[in-house]
Amino acid sequence: MTNDNKSVKNQLDLKELFLKREVWVIFIILVLLTLLFNRSGVNILLTIFIDFAVFAIITMSLNLETGYTGIPQFGRVAAVIIGAFAVGAIPGRIIAMFMGLPYGAEYASDSVNFRLVPEINQLLASSWLISLGFLVFSLLIAAICGAGIGWLISRPAIRLKEGYLGISLLAFGDFFMWVGHNWKGMVGGSVPVSVPDPFRIFAGDRFMVIVLVIFVIAFLVFIYLQKLTRSPFGRSLRMIRDNDLSAGAAGKNIVSVRTQSLVIGSAIAALGGGLYVLYVGSMASIGFTKLTFTFWPWAFMMLGGIGSNLGVLLGVFLLTILRTMIVIFRSQWFGFLLTIGIDPLWLEFTLMGAVIIIVILFMPHGLVPEKVEPMLPKSRVKQIIERRQLARGESSTS
């Protein structure tokens, strides 16, 4: 009995610690933000916010697949780039078609594109209805294409296990990346192509509005995922992650549940990719590498805590700030590298690698460990444990 009390108390202590840790991380984030604000003004904050929101969406999608379902998604970049493509290639073409402008393969050739897009932009800037329609349609088409690619990739891959699956996803991710870098007719291949800008209508406040919109969308995704992972579907995800044998025995269709998770995750990731393109205003497929859109999200997720949406958000925020700080303070802090000709920007990779290694070795559950929600209510679990211990005590004295 005393033992039991002790363990309950321990749990409480731990809980307080986690709580403290979250508060602690948020405190650090705020301090760093103030520091950056003092040095570089409000624009740097807005950049950080946008990066945060875009990567939050992508990392949350990764967390759904990896953290909750146990699929080692090493090909996140595929869905992101498809979303970016969809937004870069489809909505602009449709408007061009209605405006009687060229919309075939020539739409994506830079000589045509740089005259076309300003015309479309003018139209968008003239009506908020068209702008809004364009935005909504873009995001919709991104999500649909993402879902499609998620399904397509899942076909050969989903029955594989652990490492095999991870490697196959990595390979397919790269494959779509190469297609993106090479398919000129779609959105210019390796040549950057402009994308119509639905935020043009806000003129000077464009930046602010984008931050707001992306934040709202990230927040909606967060709420949706929280709901999803707490629903019965979320429970089957975790059941499959923790033990697919018993989940199979419990009548869960493992392949179908995993496929659904991949499809939903890819759709969300594509949404992130699409938003990113709208924000940048151009589509340069060269910028979509697995380093940025697969490995960084992994580092974010691992730091934050695999399987915890809140943790993921904190992880993304903290690391995004640190990344930005390397850029801003590169000559100030790392001047010694410059003297032997080394660009301190490479430290970004060092940071990414070090975070992954440190998290794995020293804090495998990340900043905010996943809270394990018991299948039975707590009081009932306690009852069962007590009864068992009683029985054990009796049997050993007899």
Binding residues for other proteins, rule: CB under 8 A, are: 72, 155-157, 159-160, 162-164, 166-168, 170-172, 174-175, 178-179, 181-182, 189, 290-291, 295, 298, 302, 337, 340-343, 346-350, 352-357, 360-361, 364, 392, 396
Provide, rounded to whole angstroms, the least separation between the CB of residue 250 and other proteins: 20
* CB-nearer residue toward other proteins: 249 or 361: 361
* CB-nearer residue toward other proteins: 200 or 258: 258
Tokens of residue 190, six digits: 């390796």
Provide, rounded to whole angstroms, the least separation between the CB of residue 354 and other proteins: 7
Provide, rounded to whole angstroms, the least separation between the CB of residue 272 and other proteins: 21
CB distance 345 to 327 below 8 Å: yes
* CB-nearer residue toward other proteins: 160 or 328: 160
Provide, rounded to whole angstroms, the least separation between the CB of residue 206 and other proteins: 34
Compute the distance between CA of residue 303 and CA of residue 321 in angstroms, rounded to an integer: 14
Angle at 367 between CA 29 and CA 158, to 5 degrees: 120
Compute the distance between CA of residue 239 and CA of residue 347 in angstroms, rounded to an integer: 39
Beta bridge partners of 194: 282
Compute the distance between CA of residue 246 and CA of residue 237 in angstroms, rounded to an integer: 12
* CB-nearer residue toward other proteins: 109 or 138: 109
Provide, rounded to whole angstroms, the least separation between the CB of residue 166 and other proteins: 6
Compute the distance between CA of residue 49 and CA of residue 218 in angstroms, rounded to an integer: 11
C-alpha distance from residue 44 to each of 175, 184, 357 (Å)? 34, 34, 29
* CB-nearer residue toward other proteins: 277 or 306: 306
Provide, rounded to whole angstroms, the least separation between the CB of residue 281 and other proteins: 26
* CB-nearer residue toward other proteins: 138 or 324: 324
List phi, psi (to 5°) of 24: -60, -50
